[in-house]
Structure 1
Amino acid sequence: MPKKSTYYLKDFLDSKVAIYNRPDFIPGDPISVPHRYTQKQDIEIAGLFAALFSWGNRTAIIQKSITLMQLMDDAPYDFICNHQPADLKKLMEFQYRTFNTTDLLYTISFLQQHYQQYQSLEPAFSQWGPTVADMLNGFHHYFFSLEDAPTRTRKHIAAPEKKSACKRLNMYLRWMVRKDNIGVDFGIWKELQPAQLICPLDLHVARVAKRLNMIHRKQTDWLTAIELTDYLRNLDATDPVKYDFALFGLGIIEKY
């Protein structure tokens, strides 16, 4: 793409970021679930579940995530750390699409053991760095390191080494890491910098990116997520994934 066209595209995408990266974007997006909380650990936990559930209808994602938080007494960190076996009984009927009780109980078990050692969920990712690929691969192995890790749950935790674009986890990292004082993303994790983040990539974002001549690979996989992010870094090297707002808005809301 000629440089002049790149400048026009940057202006176009910056204008879309300004439209969608605003507090009034929050209520209709899964990020509204962690925004229900102020304690760091509650934000991390609510955000992780909302991200893991983020496929399908956004209204259903939000409603189901809130239902789970309510089953945890609207205090997810306290529930994770201090629940008794009897407290888990009220979770036995929980399911969102293919994420069922087995997946939920294992995730709770993992989180409980992690928070017994760390004050934040950030080290579950950051200790495997330095790259996001290293962190996501490391998180995948760490998450399934408990003896009773169910095979069926592996499909819910993506990893670059599995060729996945890792859309939901990259979105989660954006929520936790990126901070621009606008109030949508939280910016509560500091080990990873916004410049390192990888743009969340799904079929809608890929369609828009291809139409704008930003990516050329046919697959919607990790290498394509890297290709897209590399292009976005040419537009803003310090905050490339801010354009996730623009690509999402164009693809989902404007049907571009």
Structure 2
Amino acid sequence: MNKTELKAFLDEKVNTYNNPNFIETDPIQIPHLFTLKEDIEITGFLVATIAWGNRKSIITNGNRLVELMGNSPYDFVMNFSEEQSESLSNFVHRTFNNEDLAYFLKSLQNIYKNHGGLETLFSKYAEIDSMQPAIHHFKKTFFELPHPSRTQKHISDPLKNSAAKRINMFLRWMVRNDATGVDFGIWKSIDSSQLSCPLDVHSGNVARKLKLLKRKQNDAKALLELDNSLRKLDSQDPVKYDFALFGLGVFERF
């Protein structure tokens, strides 16, 4: 396919998957339970953090997180204390356990009380053509409180050559306004043109087959290469192609 044919093919796949039906089988359904901005942010961030492995399991445990927070995530975070840690004792998703969750809640409380919230923190370090440095600075702030060393592995750092798939997915959810009701578009201080595609095994494999990506590893260097390819197809909304790449990989076994 030449560039024109490739763009037409991928735009068609975006239309196929970027619609409300996508929500039914995707972890994004969990933050869609809420209307308050902070509830959406906190739930989206926590669900994105555990978004690896079986999608059904992610959704099940995402709903458990919501129940543990009394269906009021922002209120729960802002009033969270050490005494409540015991109520989390049975939570586990793969290697993310109750100890990790307790610190995440404490850190989110610190971010909302002392750093202006998640949007303010990410937008503070955003660059005109990349959110990757912002993710790096976000991680530094996220772990500024005393924390278990094991918990650091649950936040990726692009400046250590990670593709940071889950945080890039969270940023897509918050920033991108797709007019179809899938992504939220509630963060107005960051533009869709600054976003990066959540790069995982599915989107990476499809991108290589379509010659959008040559690098074999799914790391920060591969993400930059994919970003450059997708921005040539749509400089204003390159991350919309995540729907096409993911859909082709997961649903069509492309």
- TM-score w.r.t. length of structure 1: 0.95
2:125 counterpart (93, 117, 128): 128
Tell me what 1:227 maps to.
Answer: 225
How far did 1:86 drift? 3.8
1:184 counterpart (179, 182, 185): 182
How far did 1:124 drift? 2.3
SS in 2 for 1:116: helix
Tell me what 2:27 maps to.
Answer: 30
Unaligned runs of 5+ in 2: none
SS in 2 for 1:112: helix
1:5 aligns to 2:9 (yes or no): no
Tell me what 1:140 maps to.
Answer: 139
How far did 1:88 drift? 2.9
How far did 1:195 drift? 0.5
SS in 1 for 2:183: coil
| Residues 157-190 of structure 1 deviation map (CA, whole Å, 9 limit, x = unaligned) | 0011111100000000000000021110001112
User: How far apart in 2 are the matches of 1:254 and 1:125?
Assistant: 34
Tell me what 1:169 maps to.
Answer: 167
User: How far apart in 2 are the matches of 1:113 and 1:158?
Assistant: 19
User: How far apart in 2 are the matches of 1:119 and 1:34?
Assistant: 20
Tell me what 1:247 maps to.
Answer: 245
Tell me what 1:15 maps to.
Answer: 12
- TM-score w.r.t. length of structure 2: 0.96
| RMSD of Structure 2 on Structure 1 (CA) | 1.2
User: How far apart in 1 are the matches of 2:234 and 2:148?
Assistant: 41
User: How far apart in 2 are the matches of 1:77 and 1:30?
Assistant: 19
Tell me what 1:200 maps to.
Answer: 198
The answer on whether the counterparts of 2:39 and 2:72 sit within 8 Å (CA) in structure 1 is: yes
How far did 1:85 drift? 4.1
1:72 counterpart (63, 69, 78): 69
Kindly provide the amino acid, as one letter, of the partner of residue 134 in structure 2: M
How far did 1:208 drift? 0.4
User: How far apart in 1 are the matches of 2:82 and 2:198?
Assistant: 36
Worse-superposed segment, 115-124 or 203-212: 115-124
1:50 counterpart (42, 47, 54): 47
User: How far apart in 1 are the matches of 2:59 and 2:51?
Assistant: 9
User: How far apart in 2 are the matches of 1:12 and 1:254?
Assistant: 14
| Residues 39-87 of structure 1 deviation map (CA, whole Å, 9 limit, x = unaligned) | 0000000000110011001111011011011011010100011134443
Tell me what 2:149 maps to.
Answer: 151
Aligned residue pair count = 252
The answer on whether the counterparts of 2:80 and 2:106 sit within 8 Å (CA) in structure 1 is: no
| Residues 209-233 of structure 1 deviation map (CA, whole Å, 9 limit, x = unaligned) | 1001111111110111111111111
Mark the CA change 1:151 to 1:83 in structure 2 (over 3 Å): closer, same or farther. closer
